[in-house]
Structure 1
Amino acid sequence: MQAVILAAGEGSRLRPLTRSKPKAMIPVANRPIIEYVIDALLENGIRDIVVVVGYRKEHVIRYLNKLDAPVQVVVQERQLGTADALRAAESEITEDFLVLPGDNYINAESIARIRKERNAMLVAEHPSPSNFGVVVIRNGIVREIIEKPEDAPTFTVSTGIYSFTPDIFPYLQTNEIPDALSAMIASGRRIRAIPADDWQDAIYPWDLLKLNSRMLRGITPEIGGKVDASAIRRGVVRIGAGTTVGANTVIYGPVTIGCDCNIGPNTVIMPDSSIGDRVVLEPFTYIADSIIMDDVTIGSHSRIVSAVFGQGCILADHTTTYPSASFMEVGERVLKEEFGAVLGDGVRAAPFTTFKNCIVGNGVTIEEGKTVVGLIEDGARVV
């Protein structure tokens, strides 16, 4: 069996994090999301894999070149939709195949459930069905797919994972795969609905925190760096090569720390935290339930909770993220969600900065002693 991974899209609702990389390459538990998809396929013995790239394609191609798996790459020249992306891979398809989004987590058991079905879709229950294609099912057969309805008739949604025969291609007349499925249903073709075992998507930036917590449950302990004898570790902790952990630092897993980091001394890292490569945590800093990407520096006496920091942020001493809930306009939706902060790449903050339930764009500069709330556009200066 073959598999087509769709990794051409930007993931615009995850901005500012996807300005510099596609959603499929966002790191969760220090691994790009697409890596979990490829692993699930390999665990099922599926090694004939086609990846469709497009937006910021060089990031995906660079990553795929490092893999041992024999992956074919095709390019969607313009990001017109999922059906258009699948058409880009048509010349590589010679047998029954799976289609999977490269920016959702899926486990191997879910793929095992659908791989032997012909013309089927993987479905799951979701508390916010209006963000997805809502699926109406009768006796295990898909009757209707309603894309992102305001009033969803059910909590069952499409995961975007399908099992197809090559007969699907004549139905790809528009730019979206659900339209092709609707055309197949209208013509009398049967599409089976298969419940997923474990699937998770990150629609908005703060959703990455829940996905990160989920993926950290699967890490294995490893100490590849140098940990001071007075440091305390509890639970599952993974530390990369070249990282130093200073005296009196306390780490409660699950936690993963990348390579060549400088942690502490006298820092505290609490569960559900992922820290990328070449990160500096200065003394007396506290991290909990957060994603800290590569090349971030966080000054001393800082408290970072429920935050996502993009690459290359430099935050001075006494930086605080303050989790709270407030209404926020994202795209065409007004949402209320509790989290601390989401920072894009290259944010610079002076001492005594407080981030409170905010999304801060790439390259933003913040002067000393400011409290940042709401949405801050790329390149802004907070004075």
Structure 2
Amino acid sequence: MSDYPAIVLAAGEGTRLRPLTRNRPKPMLPVATKPILEHVFDQLLDAGITEFVVVVGYRHERIQSYFGPRYRNAPITYVTQEKQLGTGHALLAAESVVEGTALVINGDQVVDSRIIRDVLTTHESGAAATIALLQRSNVDEYGGVRIEDGQVTRIVENPRDDEIYHLNAGVYAFEELAFDAVRDAEPRAGEHLLVDGLSELVDAGHDVNGAVSEGIWVDATYPWDLLDISFELFDTGVVEGDRPTDGLDAATVHGSAVVREPVVVSRDCTIEPGAVVGPYVCLDENVTVGSNAVVKRSVIDADSRIKDNATVIECVTGTGVTIGAGSTIPGGPGDVHVKDRVFENEKLGALLADRVRDGGGVTYVPGAIVGAGSELQAGTTVRGTLAAKTEVRS
């Protein structure tokens, strides 16, 4: 058990995961039927951290109402970042409620307890901070860190040069000096970034340790990443997918249905006659898979309905989605539009945000994204990105 409290940064929206984050923050998106933040809490507890300070902001009520004041007997203190002005700003919002050394962790990335333990064991009293590092072939989308003899010598966000970097895993041990450095760092584009404070420490000659770990680290940056994360948690054993249901007595699986591992089927789910579910499927609470429907490599959120004879492959849904009888989501690859970028050949059959309803016989072109509350009439074809509350007529 560690005496350090954990400051969990969970204030952001996750704009590149829209429209799934229209009604909830990124840390509350489901991975293998549990919110990302719940996975973070579980791994912290497994590493011996028993006190959480959670920085919330965007849609904070979704986090606070879900977890309440405690999680598995660990007390939770909530601190609100009223405006999302960067990771450094979020960290400083929690400074007044911690004393001495603190562990700092991103609440919207799944890391296993080995990474957390490696930071705790590497951190020494003489160091101002310690950063968890991973060996990755490509760190372009994240933070790159150079180390020499266990000491951090350079930190670069989104490096584009030919140097070899370790990936910054977003787990840190901070001393008071590190908080001061974050406060003093110059903001960029109106945001105070945590890594800029760490760079200030390195440039000033203070010891910043690098804790190189082989632990599991997965991040959801884009919609299709929610599939990859869930599947990796299956493959690495973090989530057990060798049982047909998560609580067999709480789900109804017809004797003629086929459930192919790995899967997680939550309570109050119904899998009707002739349906095929799996492999690599996560069904959250109260999902119905209709007769002779096929669901593969998909993450289906709570209260959703997949009706008879539908085919659903490489699909991510929000809550309360209805995929009508005979509708077809054939799976990727497809071109996906995210904000002002087009990502080619991604393995995403479709993303259906909260309360999307199709009337049956709908065909989804790979890479389709459908905004919350949209209505798709029977027999239509859906392609590209649809805004919230769009009505598509045949």
TM-score of the two chains, using structure 1 as the length reference: 0.92
CA distance in 2, matches of 1:190, 1:74: 29
Q: 2:269 aligns with which of 225, 240, 261?
A: 261
Alignment of 1:1-383 (within 5 A): 1-65=4-68, 67=71, 68-116=73-121, 117=123, 118=127, 119-151=129-161, 153-154=163-164, 156-173=166-183, 174=187, 175-196=192-213, 197-216=215-234, 217-220=237-240, 235-240=242-247, 242-336=250-344, 337-355=346-364, 356-383=366-393
The alpha-carbon distance between structure 1 residues 56 and 189, as it changes in their structure 2 partners (threshold 3 A), is same
Secondary structure of the residue aligned to 1:115 is helix
Identity of aligned residues (%): 34
Kindly indicate whether the alpha-carbon contact (under 8 Å) linking 2:257 and 2:275 is maintained by their aligned counterparts in 1. yes
CA distance in 1, matches of 2:196, 2:341: 24
Secondary structure of the residue aligned to 1:363 is coil
How much does 1:127 deviate? Answer: 4.9
Q: For 1:43-68, what per-residue CA distance to the aligned partner results, in whole angstroms no more than 9, with x for missing partners?
A: 12211221111111111111221622
Higher mean C-alpha displacement, 80-89 vs 156-165? 156-165
Residue correspondences, number: 370
Structure 2 counterpart of 1:228: none
Structure 2 segments unaligned to the other structure (5+ residues) = none
Partner amino acid for 2:91? L
How much does 1:338 deviate? Answer: 2.2
Secondary structure of the residue aligned to 1:328 is strand
Kindly indicate whether the alpha-carbon contact (under 8 Å) linking 1:134 and 1:152 is maintained by their aligned counterparts in 2. no
Kindly indicate whether the alpha-carbon contact (under 8 Å) linking 1:2 and 1:95 is maintained by their aligned counterparts in 2. no
Secondary structure of the residue aligned to 1:61 is helix
Partner amino acid for 1:182? S
CA distance in 2, matches of 1:78, 1:143: 32
How much does 1:128 deviate? Answer: 4.5
Kindly indicate whether the alpha-carbon contact (under 8 Å) linking 2:29 and 2:35 is maintained by their aligned counterparts in 1. yes
Secondary structure of the residue aligned to 2:22 is coil
How much does 1:269 deviate? Answer: 0.7
Q: For 1:269-296, what per-residue CA distance to the aligned partner results, in whole angstroms no more than 9, with x for missing partners?
A: 1121110111111100111111000110
Kindly indicate whether the alpha-carbon contact (under 8 Å) linking 1:220 and 1:237 is maintained by their aligned counterparts in 2. no
TM-score of the two chains, using structure 2 as the length reference: 0.89
Partner amino acid for 1:92? V
CA distance in 2, matches of 1:327, 1:289: 18
Kindly indicate whether the alpha-carbon contact (under 8 Å) linking 1:6 and 1:86 is maintained by their aligned counterparts in 2. yes
| Superposed CA RMSD | 1.8
Kindly indicate whether the alpha-carbon contact (under 8 Å) linking 2:287 and 2:305 is maintained by their aligned counterparts in 1. yes
Structure 1 segments unaligned to the other structure (5+ residues) = 222-234
CA distance in 2, matches of 1:334, 1:159: 26
- Structure having the higher strand fraction is 1
Q: For 1:295-334, what per-residue CA distance to the aligned partner results, in whole angstroms no more than 9, with x for missing partners?
A: 1011100111111011011121011112233433323433
Q: For 1:169-224, what per-residue CA distance to the aligned partner results, in whole angstroms no more than 9, with x for missing partners?
A: 21123311011011111111122222232111111110111111122333457xxx
Kindly indicate whether the alpha-carbon contact (under 8 Å) linking 1:320 and 1:354 is maintained by their aligned counterparts in 2. yes
